[in-house]
Amino acid sequence: MAWTYGSVTTVDDTSSHCSRLVWNAAVCLLRFLEQEWTLDSPLCGITKVLELGSGTGWLGMTLARNVPSARIVLTEPDLFGCLDNLKRNVETNLDAGVVEAARVSCTPFDWSDTTAAVLLERWDLVLGSDLIYNRETVRLLPPVLASLIRNGSKVVYCQTLYRWGAFGWDLPFYEALCAHGLRCSVRWLEPELHKPTSPGADGPERAERSEPRTSARPRDLDQRACVMEIVAAAEVGGHAARCDGDSEVRSLFSRAHERKRE
């Protein structure tokens, strides 16, 4: 059965902090998960899900509404009103009966807190979308992912490539992942803008399923959402192998920087 996308209500504020917007990458990531969440998929048995940088909470709450077995923990740092806004959105949907309290919860998570409780648990699935946008996020997110992966968590992340043009953070993020012994593989790349923007979706289907108005569609054909799985580098003979990364991912992440040099 097709997932429903339009039931969750969030308050978007295009003039405020980026955590108060539903970004296109979140929609693409959820579409990818819908495509992958089949009866014979390992995802089918997932119960514990952690979302990093949940923003409005749209992705996590919509996932909870469509996957009855999933228990979703949404996170935001307790800064700039981000956590308060997330809690308000969750409470609004709880009061409306759109999601159940037993299946969605919020907790503060500052990525610089290496002793945070969420890092000590093993999660069936860790999700994130468009979380890299400055030097600080490039520095903080890779060790967070490395810690979660060491505990046996599966990480699926969606990044809008070339989002910041030639001065963007794609390549620094990729290199930081490698520096922390991680590698990533592309699971899905958003088609060009004149084509459907989500896996397996056509125009009429998208309209019927009422996806939210996203506040940040890519501005050109290069700015496309890329869903990747992030894992620990393979071990050889009991020792961690040197992480040279995935050539396909490096090529994708490098394009904006190569254009800058041209």
Condensed to tens digits (0 to 9), the pLDDT of residues 184-194 reads 999 999 886 54
Domain at 18-261: CATH architecture: 3-Layer(aba) Sandwich (3.40)
- For the chain, the structural domain boundaries read 18-261
Q: Is the pLDDT of residue 133 over 50?
A: yes
72, 107 Cβ separation under 8 angstroms: no
∠ CA 80-86-88, nearest 5°, is 110
DSSP, res 73:
E
CB 125 within 8 A of CB 156: yes
Instruction: Quick: pLDDT tens for 208-242.
Output: 455 655 544 444 546 889 999 999 987 444 444 55
> Among residues 243, 261, 129, 239, which one has the least CA distance to residue 184?
243
**Residue 11 binned pLDDT confidence (cut-offs 50, 70, 90):** confident
Measured CA to CA, the distance from residue 163 to residue 13 in angstroms comes to: 20
What is the pLDDT of the chain when averaged over all its residues? 82
Closest by alpha carbon to 56, among 32, 98, 84, 80? 84
From residue 102, alpha-carbon distances to 149, 168, 206 in Å are: 25, 39, 29
Q: 114 or 42: which carries more pLDDT confidence?
A: 114
Query: Could you read off the pLDDT of 85-125 as tens digits, one per residue?
Result: 999 999 999 999 999 999 999 999 999 999 999 999 999 99
Task: Mention every residue, 6+ apart, whose C-beta is less than 8 A from residue 24.
Answer: 160, 197, 214, 216, 217, 218, 225
Q: Tell me if 235 sits within 8 A of 81, measured CB to CB.
A: no
Report whether pLDDT(62) > 70: yes
- DSSP structural state of residue 217: -
Question: Which phi and psi (to 5°) does residue 71 adopt?
Answer: -115, 115
For residue 257, pLDDT beyond 50? yes
Mean pLDDT value of segment 21-28: 90
Q: Is residue 56 pLDDT above 50, yes or no?
A: yes
Q: Could you give the percent of the chain with pLDDT greater than 70?
A: 76
Residue with tokens 């097709």: 2
Q: Which residues pair with 51 in a beta bridge?
A: 74, 127
